[in-house]
Chains A and B, each alone.
Chain A
Amino acid sequence: MIVFQLIRVALMAAALLGLGPRVATGQDFTVTGTWTGSISCKSFTAGLKETTKVAPVMTVSQVGNEVGVQLDFGGGVFERYTGLANPDGKKPETKGELGLIRCGTDDVLGSEESFDEIGRFTVATKAPPAVKASLKGTTVTARPESVGTCKWKWTRTDVADPGLSTNCQQ
């Protein structure tokens, strides 16, 4: 990460020269709404490769750049994620990225109920009132008996805010 720190110094210098980074305008993209799609995972479980695919209903609430995600697998089974939206510099109102962390993720691998997951996604939306938007990306998962990679692919079907918390503590 040392090079990254040097980049930040360069960015600060650029800012001082008036070449600075984008300034948030309050019109950055939003991923709030209901989404349909799938998560396809390739995992290494008990020494063998395994492929799975699930298609839960995904709901998302975004407040500022803070994002809360809930996956509804039916039967009362939910998984929650927290994350930050990261607008593109040129088209912040419609494009950008999203980092997501599964609630419960920590730096202890292998504990009995451990399920850690972090991912990076690209987001493409259209200016309001358009509903259509796409969210695609990849996560890494780690559980006591498996490690995996999951590809997420989603399309928004509704922009109504489900009112989710954007953090895992609530």
Chain B
Amino acid sequence: MRRAAVVFAVVVCAAAAGRADAFDLTGTWTGTAKCTSLFQGDKFKFTDLPAVQITQVGREIGLRADYGGGNVNFYAGRAYDDAKKPDEKGEVALVACGTNSVAGDSGPFDELGRFVAKAKPGKVKATLKGVSYYSDPLDFVNPPNPDGWPEAGTCKWTLTRVDTTNPAGGTVCER
């Protein structure tokens, strides 16, 4: 009876995850996002050092990037397993919460990225590297411009996992 219960629990978990052998990015990560953009006619480069927390449930990923000083960005993501080593590597798409197809709205910026993930089972160390494109952080204020200052930028992300404790964050963007 106990064995049957255990088997049932595994099936339920596997069904909930949707994938039996898949890499898992859950944990705390450190690294950099090196970005370039064209803003107000000039090229800019800047580097962010976010503290990143990831929660993964099945294919769904939630990422919280804390830049300090109360600046926090949230992303929703999706995992795509490698065909040969699905439990060790694959790719990930991440989209910034608030992304939409309304160019020039004054809301949150739009950002979408593609990443390569490597995360061996049972190991803390894992890497997540990729490029994101962002647009639409339309700025009407600095300096004042009734039409807003458009921008499009590129960020190269390099992250390494330092802890596999689940931060228990959400995996979908809140409304």
Contact = CB atoms under 8 A, between A and B. Distances in A.
A85 interface: yes
Interface of A: 1-5, 7-9, 11-12, 15-16, 20-22, 24, 44, 46-48, 64-67, 82-90, 92, 96-110, 116-121, 138-140, 142, 144-149, 166-169
Contacts of B149: 21
A140 B99 contact: no
Contacts of B154: 120
Contacts of B54: none
Nearest to B135: A99
A15 B82 CA distance: 50
Q: Is the interface of B mostly helix, strand, loop or mixed?
A: strand
Contacts of B67: 1-2
B158 interface: no
A89 B41 contact: yes
A139 to B, nearest CB: 7
A8 B139 contact: yes
Q: Is the interface of A mostly helix, strand, loop or mixed?
A: mixed
A90 B41 CA distance: 7
Interface string B66-104: 011101010011101111101000111101111111111
Interface residues of B, number: 68
Contact of B39 (A7, A92, A104, A121): A7
B103 A167 contact: yes
A47 B153 contact: no
Given A118-B111, A119-B133, 18 more contacts: A2-B71, A8-B39, A8-B139, A47-B84, A48-B83, A65-B104, A83-B135, A88-B38, A101-B101, A104-B101, A106-B95, A110-B78, A118-B134, A120-B135, A149-B131, A166-B103, A167-B103, A168-B101
B38 A96 contact: yes
23 contacts: A1-B109, A2-B67, A3-B47, A8-B139, A11-B39, A47-B81, A87-B41, A89-B41, A97-B152, A99-B151, A99-B152, A103-B101, A105-B110, A106-B101, A107-B97, A107-B173, A109-B76, A109-B78, A110-B78, A140-B93, A140-B132, A142-B95, A147-B114
